[in-house]
Amino acid sequence: MKLFLDTGFSEEVKSVREWCSIDGVTTNPSLIAKSGKSFRQAVGDICEVLPDGDISAEIISMEYSQMLEEALSISDISKNIVIKIPVSEQGLRLTEELSRRGIRTNLTLVFSLPQVLLCAKAGATYISVFMGRIDDIAFDNAVNILSNAVSVVEKYHYSSEILAASIRHPVHLVQTMQEGVHAVTVPYSVLKGLYKHPLTSSGIDRFMLDWEAAGLDLQK
């Protein structure tokens, strides 16, 4: 399973990289805006920190020729860029074109199975299904959509990978693992808490107390 960090901050990528082997980073216009840097600076810094990861960076235009221009210009930033495209008629058209040119894509803001099918047929590299935002409106079941999305691409042998996005808490991550989702992108606040468990902490304390009480030494 691929694990991505959902952030616009290269500092977070650097810090996580020290203890967790992430496969890439996903950004979006809101995350880049929070970073306080220019778009190219923020994305370039992330690519530099994670030169072998897949770094998703999003286009912002809605008109086809501008979308293509933006996609080509963003993909020039680094060889590990994946072009993030909101799903739409022009977005699907752009996905097909970039796929023909060998440029990888991440179709974003995906909330339904019909959208998943169209993204897969267009040749999307990743299809980002947003769990938290589906849960927010309680209109559908995010786990069912993800699980069916994985079945669709696997059953019909599409090359796309389903990427679970909009992860708000560790239970979302556990659900993606249970459903065999191919990739997941997790915000820094959630990722930082994942290795913690009260029994791990109390277990470490117990070991230390017993060790010290017995006067043990690692060299003896």
Catalytic residues: 84
Q: What angle do CA 61, 71, 42 make, to 5 degrees?
A: 90
Burial 56-67 (b: 16+ CB within 10 A, else e): bbbbeeeeeeeb
- Which of 6, 70, 161, 179 is the binder for ligand E4P (CB under 6 A)? 6
| CA 129 centroid distance within chain | 10
3 DSSP β-pair partners: 184
* Sites for ligand E4P among residues 161-200 (CB under 6 A): 165-166, 185
CB closer to ligand E4P out of 26 and 75: 26
Rule CB under 6 A: which of 28-87 touch ligand E4P?
A: 28, 31
Per CB under 6 A, which region of 35-43, 44-52, 69-77, 124-132 contacts ligand E4P? Answer: 124-132
Check residue 88 and report its DSSP letter. Answer: S
Judged by beta carbon, residue 132 or residue 170, the one nearer ligand E4P is 132
Which position among 25, 130, 158, 176 is part of the footprint of ligand E4P (CB under 6 A)? 130
Q: Which of 99, 146, 155 is nearest to 127 (CA)?
A: 146
Kindly list the residues in this chain that would bind ligand E4P in the complex (CB under 6 A).
Answer: 6, 26, 28, 31, 108, 128, 130, 132-133, 165-166, 185
